[in-house]
Amino acid sequence: MSDDEPDLELLALLRQHLQGKLKLDDEPETGVLESAEYVYNNCIDVALDMRSCKNAAAAIYSQMQQKEYSPATWSSHELHPKTKDESTVAFIFTMDLLNFSFWSEKSETERFAIEYRGRRWTGYWSLVAALQRALDEGIPITDSHFWQDEEECSLAVLKQVFRSCTDEEIPLLEERLACLREAGKVLYEKYDCDITNLIEDAKGSAARLVNLLAQDFTCFRDEHQFDGRKKPIRLLKRAQILVADLWACFEGKGYGEFRDIDKITMFADYRIPQILNTMGCLLYSPLLEMAVKDKKEVVSGSSHEVQLRACSIWCVELIRREIIKAHPEAHINAILIDFFLYDTIKEMESKGKDNIPHHRTRSIWY
C-alpha cells in the first residue's frame, strides 16, 4: 500500500466506532497488575525468590485440591451471608467499604474483639460479626439511606455497632464513618441509592466495576506515587476484594457474574506479604526486614509499603502462572490463591505458628 492509499481496515474501524458499533473500552483493564510489575522491576527493598515461588505453587495447588477449595468455600464460613439476593449485595458492599485496619499491638485477650453468637471474633471476622450483630439488633447498617442520615448514623451509633468485648476500641472509627458518608452520597447522586445499579453499570466486567469504584468513590481509590513515576501505582485492594466477594458469594452467577474475573489480582494487605515472606517467596532488604521484625510502623504510601504490597501482587501472579503451567486444566485464579493464603495464615496464627510478624501500616486501604 502506498502512502497515498487509504487504510481501509482502519477506516472501517473508525466508521464502526462513530456509529456506536465498537467501543474501544469494552474490555477495560484495572492497571493493578501492570503497576505491580512496574514496582517489582524498579524496587530495591523487596525481591522474589523464584525457586520458593515454584515450590509454593506446588504446595498451594496440592492443599487446595485436598481441601476442595472453590468459590463455594466463601459461603461456608459461619459469618458470611447465606442468602443470594440484594440484601447480600448490600452486606458485601458495606463489609468491604469498612474492611480495613484491624491489627493490634495488644495480646489476643486484650485486642479489639466482637462477641457474637457465643464466640469471640477478631480481625476481619470482627467486622463481619459486628455487621451481623447490628442487623440482628435492628440497626440498618447496610442501608445507604441510613449512612446519609447524620442523626441516625452518628459516631455514637457507630461506636455501638462496633462495641468491643475488650477495652480496646476498633481503630479508625471516624474514618469508617467518613467512608459510609461518602458512599451514601455517591450512591444517591449516581446510582439511585442502589448498589445493584452500580454493578449493572459494570456490564458484567470485573475490571470495569473496579474502575467505577475507584473513579466514583475516593475511599476506594487506593493509588500511590512511586519512584517519581507520573502515573500512579494502582493497588485497589478493597475495590478488588469487593468484586471478588460478589463473585465468590454468588459463585459466578447473578450479581457475581463477571466474564473477566481472572483480571482481579490478589488483595494487597499485610497478611499475604506475611505468609509469602514465611514461605520464602518474598524477601526484604535488611532495613525493611528490621522494621517488620521490630514491628515499627511502615508509613502508608511510603516506598517500603508500596514495594511490599505491589511485589506481593506480582508474587501471587507468578505463583498462579506456575500452577496453570503445571496444571493447564486447573480453574485457579489470584482470588482463590489469596483467600487460601489468608485462611492459612490465620490458621497458623491461631496455633501460634506465625513466627514472622506482619508489617504495620495504619490506613483505610487495608
Catalytic entry in 45, 143, 245, 269: 269
Q: Which of 264, 265, 283 is nearest to 273 (CA)?
A: 283
**Pair 228, 280: CB distance under 8 Å:** no
**Three-state DSSP class for residue 223:** strand
For residues 49 and 289, give the distance between their C-alpha atoms in angstroms, rounded to a whole number. 15
| Secondary structure element (H or E) that encloses residue 224, with its range | strand 223-224
Q: Give the Cα separation of 305 and 237 in Å (integer).
A: 13
Q: Which of 243, 261, 276, 271 is nearest to 332 (CA)?
A: 261
Cell numbers at 202, concatenated: 459494570
49 catalytic? Reply is no
Extract the C-alpha cell encoding 109.
485477650
Query: 70: closest CA among 225, 222, 252?
Result: 252
CB-based contacts of 278: which residues, under 8 Å, 6+ apart? 345, 348, 354, 355, 356
Place of cell 474492611: 99
Question: What is the 8-class DSSP label of residue 159?
Answer: H
| Distance between CA atoms of residues 319 and 325, nearest Å | 10
Which string of b and e fits 199-232 if b means at least 16 CB within 10 Å? Answer: beebeebbbbbbbbbbebbebbbbbbebeeeeee
- Catalytically active residues are 269
